[in-house]
Structure 1
């Protein structure tokens, strides 16, 4: 009986830990905002006077991210999914993702949607894992490619060693650690076996593979495009490559902290990355506010309404 009760206890402890980390991060961010209230006010005023055409372009890029997310999700499964409800589910998942820590909101919405479409719980979870792994691989590949194509993307001082050799060493080491963890852990080994079987099935169909990787690439580039357009809207003279790299680094760093929708962690990481790329403090805050406004805050209420509608129609 003790063994049967241990998983719920472990899950509960994990949830409490995630919520505790979320509260700590949000408190730290709130304290930082209070301490830098003048910078926040200046950034808000600059965003209010931003170029409307660039903001419209940023809004269109933000809307397209949900379409790319739907394409990537379709690519992660072999069975055809209803297109309209799939896009609506991604939109609703984005809103739910801002309510629960560590991406749990989006995971639960997509898991429920896939099971309603006839997939088993295991295959639905595997499809979500395949999509997440493809997204992480794409971001990593885009960052390394950007460094190779434009080595000056990271504005380093003369005394700072170039990070590319370290990346080329750390990436294989991280991959080796992951492989060893799978080899020596029976549960991970079984999960990896099921995931690899589904990955092989997906890649046997060229259209599905193109959807998975193309949607993942488009999702990452469009999110970077939102911040690039906002940077141009506020007249911040930063090179596009530097802004894209700042987003890739910030999104990777924010994934380490389980806050709802990256709230606080992504904001701080993106502001720091833009500042490191050469943006003054108020302008960096303006860019982050604009990015958050278009990708998180404005879609929140419509996303929750779509979520309620999908649940009412038994699509979730």
Structure 2
């Protein structure tokens, strides 16, 4: 009796009979060349996005620019280079304050380059969100942990208004006899919404932290990191000087830029009066909505005896000098930092 040979077993690669209808091909993975092409396209879009956003914002606000350029065209050109110099000096001081709010040492060149980039981004998003976002991305790129980077931004934002107080007192002693404080004091209908918004925001934050468990740990980590960094920074004299000295010098430099533009237009105020007008505008009427800074500062200059039209022209010229002229180079620097993966 001869044994019948066993049927050949199907090869592993051949589909079993009846399985062809239910066979599912594995998802195709993109090739390395395709992934590299998509990465380059994404990087190009992200690089060009700041330029597109700034261009849109410029088109919407072109009337203010044209008016400011026309006024600067009639100004005394001897003062305008001083205004540009103070603008550049303001970036350097801002970089010093950023470094002073962080224990780690940052590369000075990239830190300075991030300031005009942050200024360009700040005109796209309100309330300094754009500048803080660029700074936080820069810190992440330098290896700073998110909790420490966020704590440095909070310390930066807290120290700046506190450091203005002694500077304000100093300039108040210099020009206090020429100020009509009644014109600067905001009414209660201006202060009540601002105070209510602050209380509501603080209450909402406390309620969320105490009731939402996933938010509790990040909030505790943030507070612990912030307190630790504050203690470390204030044991280093160089950081204290950069943080507090830079924060105190920043409004003086900004006021000097306003004064340079005002002097070029014939503003009948002294340098100390213009700087004090900027300081008191930020302290007393900062709650008044004023796009582009037009409103509180020129109102303060009017209270010091300057003509209303000339004060408004000074602020418009100041915005052109500090925003519109640096806008294109700042946007190009922002795009370059994104392209080089610094941000």
TM-score range, shorter chain: 0.7 to 0.9
CA contact (8 A) 1:153 1:245 kept: no
Match of 1:249 in 2: 280
CA shift, 1:162, in A, is 11
Which is greater in Rg?
A: 2
Q: 1:294 aligns with which of 298, 301, 321?
A: 321
SS at match of 2:268: coil
1:67 to 69, 92, 112: 92
2:263 aligned partner = 232
Across the aligned residues of Structure 1 and Structure 2, the Cα RMSD in angstroms comes to: 3.2
Deviation at 1:257, TM superposition (A): 6.5
Match for residue 280 of structure 1?
Answer: 307
Structure 1: tracts of 5 or more residues without a match: 1-29, 35-39, 164-176
Corresponding position of 2:134: 109
More helix by share: 1
Task: Give me the TM-score of the superposition, normalised by structure 2.
Answer: 0.67
Match of 1:213 in 2: 244
Equivalence for 1:22: none
Contact kept in structure 2, 1:65 and 1:223, CA below 8 Å: yes
Q: Report the CA distance shift for 1:254/1:92 in structure 2 as closer, same or farther (over 3 A).
A: farther
How do residues 127-138 of structure 1 correspond to structure 2 at under 5 angstroms? Answer: 127-138=152-163
Which residue does 1:269 correspond to in 2?
296
How far did residue 220 of structure 1 move?
1.7
Map 1:115-126 to 2 at 5 A: 115-126=140-151
1:156-208 deviations in whole A, cap 9, x for unaligned?
5xxx5998xxxxxxxxxxxxx9xx98999766776444322211111111111
Query: Is 1:97 aligned with 2:122?
Result: yes
Is contact 1:246-1:273 (8 Å) kept? yes
**Does the CA-based 8 Å contact 2:147-2:222 persist in structure 1?**
no
Say if 2:103 is the partner of 1:78: yes
Higher RCO (CA 8 Å, separation ≥ 6 residues): 1
Distance 1:85 1:254 in 2: 35
The 8 Å contact of residues 184 and 285 in structure 2, kept in 1 or not, is answered as: no
CA distance in 1 between partners of 2:236 and 2:302 (Å): 44
TM-score of the aligned structures, taking structure 1 as reference length: 0.72
Q: How far is the alpha carbon of 1:254 from its aligned partner?
A: 7.2
Q: After TM superposition, what 4+ stretches of structure 1 lie above 4 angstroms from structure 2?
A: 43-46, 160-163, 180-193, 252-255
